[in-house]
Amino acid sequence: MNSQELEDLLLSFLVLLLLFSNFEIKLMPLVAPAILTAFVFHELAHRWTAERYGYRAFYKRWDTGIVIALVLGLLTRVLTGNAWIFAALGAVRIYAPYMLADREAFGKIALAGPLTNIAVGVIALVGSQLVSGTFYQILELTASVNLWLAFFNLWPIPPLDGYKVLRWSAGYWAISIGVAYSLNILT
């Protein structure tokens, strides 16, 4: 990972941390594990899966999305008391200069992010039943954010992951969105 990619991930992470904590510093320690696992792990799963297929991949922030997220978040925080979360802050860019793009590979690369969110969400959900207090709050929030992100990202709308998965395999898409939906309603 180069310094630019690390900077892009860190900036996107910090913006999401502000939004999900409703711009309240005291909530940031509770929210940080959820954002780390839901956002950073999701993007790294795409990156690592693409690299396994021989593609060059890296996370690139979208500055316009960051500005929109901050403006909408601050505006809705002031008007309603709760920040509205716009989470299109960047994406993993995949390059295949000497290979033809493979629909199956791109489908599996797209599915890697939501599957990571589902795995983390289930682990956090189970873990939350074994602890109490602050640890319960952190794990419950981590499960909720991860499972919601998995479900949201599987919607079959471009440029979301679900669109790419559906283009590759309707069966895998149906199963994955069904699992994500079912788990999402548990939290």
Average pLDDT, the chain: 94
**Per-domain residue ranges of the chain:** 3-184
pLDDT in tens, 30-70: 999 999 999 999 999 999 999 999 899 999 999 999 999 99
pLDDT confidence tier of residue 85, bands split at 50, 70 and 90 = confident
Spatial separation of the C-alpha atoms in residues 121 and 171, rounded to whole Å = 22
pLDDT confidence tier of residue 164, bands split at 50, 70 and 90 = very high
First to last CA, the chain: 34
Q: Is the pLDDT of residue 27 over 90?
A: yes
Instruction: Residue 90: count other Cβ atoms within 10 Å of its Cβ.
Output: 21
Cα dihedral 165/169/171/172 (nearest 10): -40
pLDDT confidence tier of residue 101, bands split at 50, 70 and 90 = low
Strands (E), the chain: 56-61, 90-95
Please state the pTM of the whole predicted model.
Answer: 0.91
For residue 102, the model assigns a pLDDT of: 85
Greatest CA separation for the chain: 53
3-state helix, strand and coil shares in percent for the chain, rounded to the nearest 5: 70, 5, 20
pLDDT confidence tier of residue 88, bands split at 50, 70 and 90 = confident
| CB-based contacts of 149, cutoff 8 Å, min separation 6 | 38, 39, 42, 87, 114, 117
DSSP 97-109: TTSPPPHHHHHHH
Spatial separation of the C-alpha atoms in residues 178 and 9, rounded to whole Å = 29
In the residue annotation, 24 being an active-site residue is answered as: no
| CB-based contacts of 130, cutoff 8 Å, min separation 6 | none
Bond prior to 159 in cis (omega within 30° of 0) = yes
pLDDT in tens, 128-159: 999 999 999 999 999 999 999 999 999 999 98
- Residue 53: exposure state from Cβ atoms within 10 A (0-12, 13-18, ≥19): middle
Name the active-site residue from 43, 51, 104, 140. Answer: 43
Length of the chain: 187
